[in-house]
Structure 1
Amino acid sequence: MHQHATLARKDRRLPLEGVIQRPNGMWFIVGTVCFGAFMAALDASIISIALPKLEQAFHTTMNRIEWVSLIYLLALAGCIVAFGRLSDLLGRRPMYTLGFGVFIVGSALCGASWSLASLLVFRVVQGIGASLLQANSVSIITAAADAERRGQAIGFQALAQGLGLSLGPLVGGVLTHIASWRLIFYINVPVGILGTLSALLFLPRDRREGARPHFDLVGALVLAFLLIVTMYVLKEGFRPESRPVLTAILLAVAVLAAASFVAIERRADSPLVPINYLREPIVWLGNLTSILSFSVMYAVTLVVPYWFVHIEGLSSAKAGLLLTALPVGMALCTPFAGRLADRWSKLKVSAVGMALAAIGSGCLFTFTRITPAFLAGLFLVGCGVGTFTPANNARVMNATPAAHLGVAGGILNMSRTLGMGVGVTTGGVSVELFSAAFGPHGEALAYRCSFLVAAALALIAFALTFVRQKSSQTTT
């Protein structure tokens, strides 16, 4: 009788073990993670459409208001790897649930902002919450999913992130149109509460037992500084109005910080990022190709709206609608690609994805008007990135020891964030350089040539997948 009562009390404890331990119970975990991944990614891009409204509301300039977007990405990139490591030490369930709480508070404060300075401070809080969510998303799925379904599960997580990033401008436009810019922040509060409840109900307990290794605080601070400087240079350092001397100094500082981080990690008893792990070809090449794949996506998503508006003369609303061809391609291909990677070959699926992205970018260059072929190019870029991401992420996570799943997931998400910065910089700088080369009458050709640059990035990633194949024959 006493034993029966004990079991009954255990069944009433959170999480709902009876649900998540069923054969298909892992999908409740995957759904919870996708919820947070979508919300955090959406807020990285949703702000772009509201920047003109914010500029008017706070009576400031565009150069200053762009920091509302940039400072979120800086907080996200600076914290994500450290939080991934902390989740390995303290448990992924409490860190992920805390992420929802911090994100909700940050969102509510952003919506109530009374000045640009207050909004920037609260966007940092929001970015910290997002980094807690994104640092743990892939690692939670990797720990919960069996090897036969891991690629498919990671595919859904990649789909949630990709859709959040791609649909942000469209969702932001609708919300600012029906209400005000504050709604794009307030809407996160009820959504975040639902996510928190889902995390409490379904995320499994994984708190470590026994003595915990020391957290590498010095390494975490140096890495955060390195990532913040790198993201700043990528976003601001290559603009026409930027100062070359300052950019060169920041690049030198980034190189010095990188060398210092490696030296610190080699001497640390419990390093934040094990250097031996990063030396594995499948790991560092997987993260490098991840950066390149998201660079392709964000170079295209930056340039295409300008093409629609400036060259084709479309309205912003219609341009945003046509751009959804890219996230539709991701939505259709990502879950299928994850399943195919589990059953066929993760490496070959990754290569196919980058080949599709290169072909899609080539179509954008070849077909000069808004035609079905041009929209098919957008669709293929989405299909390519959506096909590549789950297969590539699954390969990296399968090569990761269980004790380092959190930091590995954080590094993969950091790669995506860096890819965003590289893509935006590459797209913008390539258009400016080609415009200067072709003169005032070559604007259309300058945009088209920037699509060739995106295709070149995809082809480089395609080639690197086969370098990885030669380096790691045992992992397919």
Structure 2
Amino acid sequence: MAGPAAVRSAERSAVPSPGRRWTALLVTERQRPECIRIRPGGWWLAVATVCFGAFMGQLDASIVTLTYDSLRAQFGAPLAAVEWVSLAYLLALVALLIPAGRLSDAHGRKLFYLYGFVVFTAASAACGLAPSLAALVVFRVVQACGAAMMQANSVALVTTSAPREKMRAALGVQAAAQALGLALGPTVGGALVSTLGWRWVFGINVPIGAVALLAGHYLLPRTRHRCPARRFDWAGLVLLAAATTSLLLAVSAASGLPVAGWVVAVLLTVAAGATWAFADRQRRIRHPLLDLRMLRIRAVSTGLFAALCGYLVLFGPLVLVPIIVMLHGHTTLTAGSVLTALPAGFALAAVGADRIMPSGMSDRARCVTGAVLCSGALAALLASSLSIPWLTPLLALLGLGLGLFTPANNALIMGAIPADSSGTGGGLVNMARGLGTALGVALAALTLYLGGPYGHRWALFTLLLISLLAAVAAWLGPGGRPPAMDSGPAPRGPVRAAAEADGDR
């Protein structure tokens, strides 16, 4: 029989130490209060909480470009250097979305979502206090880490919170929050830069993030069902990041960075070599980051190309239009107000297209119609005087075309991908969106630099060509049935994980 000393020792070991209690608290998802879990409409509170992240992500994407002129003036940097405030964020986000989603499936989606808010909010405060352009770019990379943790889990949290029969309505509300953030970004950014200064463009995220973090702690459902972490292709991720970063660095260097020409050639060589190595590795390994056989499906390959073109056309004007407006002698506030027409048109078409378009119109027809509208709007902009009376309605028309094109194109891609690979398909769409956004920023800066006094015209001409390519891709895209993907267990993504989880409602 154990003596009294042994009994007391066992009792002490059974009680967790304060340090262990704090550790457990930090890695444990909190259950929602009983009154919220049993409330019939309580799940809307969780959806509303996720909408904070959806709103902030799109607001940040469209608001930062309004700071470029102020950043150039304060830090004495060329546009090619300032654009990395956006490019660094986008590249980090694209690289981290898939790892964040897989880690969340294993360790808890609510946990990763909340920690994503912590990282995003803290990095936003650091961006607002950045003492130099280099420090601002570094803080933006950290901010992207938090954004990836949020975006990788937003759809899963919505679908695990909402009843199955309310799923489409819940996802529609989330899409509306994204569209609202995208639409308000230019106006809010212009107002902040004109009145309080560029630092408040980042500082505005801090109070919103604090409220969202508190709400998420109490209102988001726990992850009831998790999956073990699968082997992840980290080497493939490094190669993909090297390829995209080298390519954008080369474009940026050619846009006016003070570097030698041979540096651009080296960067392009690295980009080509990393792309080849990535593709070769994906063909050989058992659990690839990207199953290249999907790209043999014509609707997928052409759809992804069209998606990249669409987001390039969407974000290129976010860099270009403020410069055009200020060349005409107007303020940043006016530039933001004019630019709002583009995302507002996008939001209107994305949310209301089903109500105004013919019910029998196919996704392919919607894609082509949207791309043609985009091309017409860009051609009219190219032929116009680019004064505000011309810019505002034509940007709205461009937004309407993109809002009609983008959801239909995404539906074509996902409809062509086998059901057991939908997680990978969602990752491909997000990757094309991120790369298109980054290229939109980079190519706008490149054409502005190379075109001299007519740079804005050359930029519009480039966007018109890309819009026409998107129309051709949409026309040629759909074809054939998706082939079977039988190389092992299907990858798990946020959508599939959400279907298997039921939260704690």
**TM norm. shorter chain > 0.5:** yes
CA 15–78 in structure 1, closer or farther in 2 if over 3 Å, else same: farther
**Structure 1 position 454 matched with structure 2 position 456:** no
Separation of aligned partners in 2, 1:434 and 1:56: 21
Q: Equivalences for 1:110-189 in 2 at 5 Å?
A: 110-137=127-154, 160-161=177-178, 164-165=181-182, 167-189=184-206
3-state SS of the aligned residue for 2:387?
coil
**Residues 378-389 of structure 1 aligned to structure 2 (within 5 Å):** 378-389=395-406
8 Å CA contact 2:45–2:219 kept in 1: the answer is: yes
Q: Which amino acid aligns with 1:217?
A: W
More displaced stretch, 195-204 vs 9-18: 9-18
What's the offset of the Cα at 1:127?
A: 1.4
2:126 to 80, 91, 109: 109
Moved more, 202-211 or 69-78: 202-211
SS in 2 for 1:220: helix
Structure 2, gaps ≥5 residues long: 1-29, 484-505
* 1:364 Cα offset (Å): 0.9
TM-score, structure 2 normalization: 0.75
**Corresponding residue SS for 1:82:** helix
2:377 equivalent to 1:370:
no
1:226, distance to aligned residue in structure 2 (A)? 2.5
Q: Deviations over 1:278-334 (max 9, x none)?
A: 443333322211110122123333333333332x33333323322222122122211
Alignment of 1:313 onto 2:322: no
Asked if the contact 2:63/2:188 (under 8 Å) is kept, the reply is: yes
Alignment of 1:253 with 2:270, yes or no, is yes
Report the CA distance shift for 1:454/1:209 in structure 2 as closer, same or farther (over 3 A): closer
Secondary structure, aligned partner of 1:368: coil
Displacement of 1:403 in angstroms is 6.3
CA deviation digits over 1:235-287, x for unaligned, max 9? 44444865443222212212221222223233333322233334433333222
Q: Which residue of 2 aligns with 1:6?
A: none
Alignment of 1:265-414 (within 5 A): 265-310=282-327, 312-337=328-353, 344=360, 345-368=362-385, 370=387, 372=389, 374-400=391-417, 405-414=422-431
1:194 and 1:174 map into 2 onto residues whose CA distance is 23
Distance 1:11 1:162, change over 3 A: closer
Residues 88 and 326 (structure 1), Cα distance of their counterparts in 2 relative to 1, 3 Å cut: same
- Cα deviation for residue 380 of structure 1 reads 0.8
- Separation of aligned partners in 1, 2:355 and 2:479: 24
- Does the CA-based 8 Å contact 1:88-1:407 persist in structure 2? no
Secondary structure of the 1:469 match is: coil
AA aligned to 1:123 is R
Are the equivalent residues in 2 in contact too, given 1:235–1:421 (CA < 8 A)?
no
Residues 261-270 or 135-144, more deviating? 135-144
**1:95-153 C-alpha deviation (Å, 9 max, x unpaired):** 33332121112123333445555444322211111122234445666788899998887
Rg: which structure is higher?
A: 2
1 CA distance for matches of 2:155 and 2:248? Answer: 22
Answer yes or no: is the 8 Å Cα contact 1:237–1:247 preserved in 2: yes
- Which is worse superposed, 217-226 or 368-377? 368-377
Q: Which amino acid aligns with 2:345?
A: G
Distance 2:418 2:112 in 1: 20
> Aligned runs of 1:177-216 on 2, under 5 Å?
177-200=194-217, 203=220, 205=222, 208-209=225-226, 211-216=228-233
Q: What's the CA shift for 1:83?
A: 2.4
Q: Is the 8 A contact 1:292 1:461 kept in 2?
A: yes
Asked if the contact 1:163–1:330 (Cα under 8 Å) also holds between the matched residues in 2, the reply is no
Q: Is the Cα contact below 8 Å between 1:330 and 1:386 reproduced in 2?
A: yes
In structure 1, C-alpha distance between the alignment counterparts of 2:53 and 2:358, rounded to whole Å: 24
Question: How big is each residue's C-alpha offset from its partner over 1:45-67, in whole Å with a ceiling of 9 and x where there is no partner?
Answer: 4333335555666x553465554
Once the two structures are superposed, residues 426-467 of structure 1 have per-residue CA deviations (whole angstroms, 9 ceiling, x without a partner) of: 3344455555xxxx6xx4xx6445433322211211121121
* Mapped contact 2:86–2:438 kept (Cα < 8 A): no
Query: The residue matched to 2:477 in structure 1 has which SS?
Result: helix
Return closer, same or farther for 1:90/1:13 CA change in 2, 3 Å cut-off: farther
2:478 counterpart of 1:469? yes
8 Å CA contact 2:254, 2:264 repeated in 1: yes
Paired with 2:273 and 2:219, the residues of 1 have a C-alpha distance of 43
- Deviation (angstroms), 1:177: 3.9
2:25 is matched with which residue? none
In 2, distance between residues paired with 1:10 and 1:144? 13
Distance 1:328 1:64, change over 3 A: closer
RMSD: 3.9
Per the alignment, in what secondary structure is the counterpart of residue 470 of structure 1?
Answer: coil
Q: Equivalents in 2 of 1:147, 1:354: separation in Å?
A: 34
Identity %: 36
Q: What is the alpha-carbon distance in structure 2 between the residues aligned to residue 205 and residue 415 of structure 1?
A: 30
Q: Is the 8 A contact 1:289 1:464 kept in 2?
A: yes
> Are the equivalent residues in 2 in contact too, given 1:45–1:168 (CA < 8 A)?
yes
- The answer to whether the Cα contact below 8 Å between 2:160 and 2:221 also exists between their aligned partners in 1 is no
**Which range is displaced more, 219-228 or 459-468?**
219-228
Letter of the aligned partner of 1:174 in structure 2?
Answer: A
Q: Which amino acid counterpart does residue 95 of structure 1 have in structure 2?
A: F
- Identify if the C-alpha distance between structure 1 residues 17 and 117 changes in structure 2 by more than 3 Å, giving closer, same or farther: farther
Number of the residue aligned with 1:47: 64
CA–CA distance in 1 between the matches of 2:331 and 2:373? 29
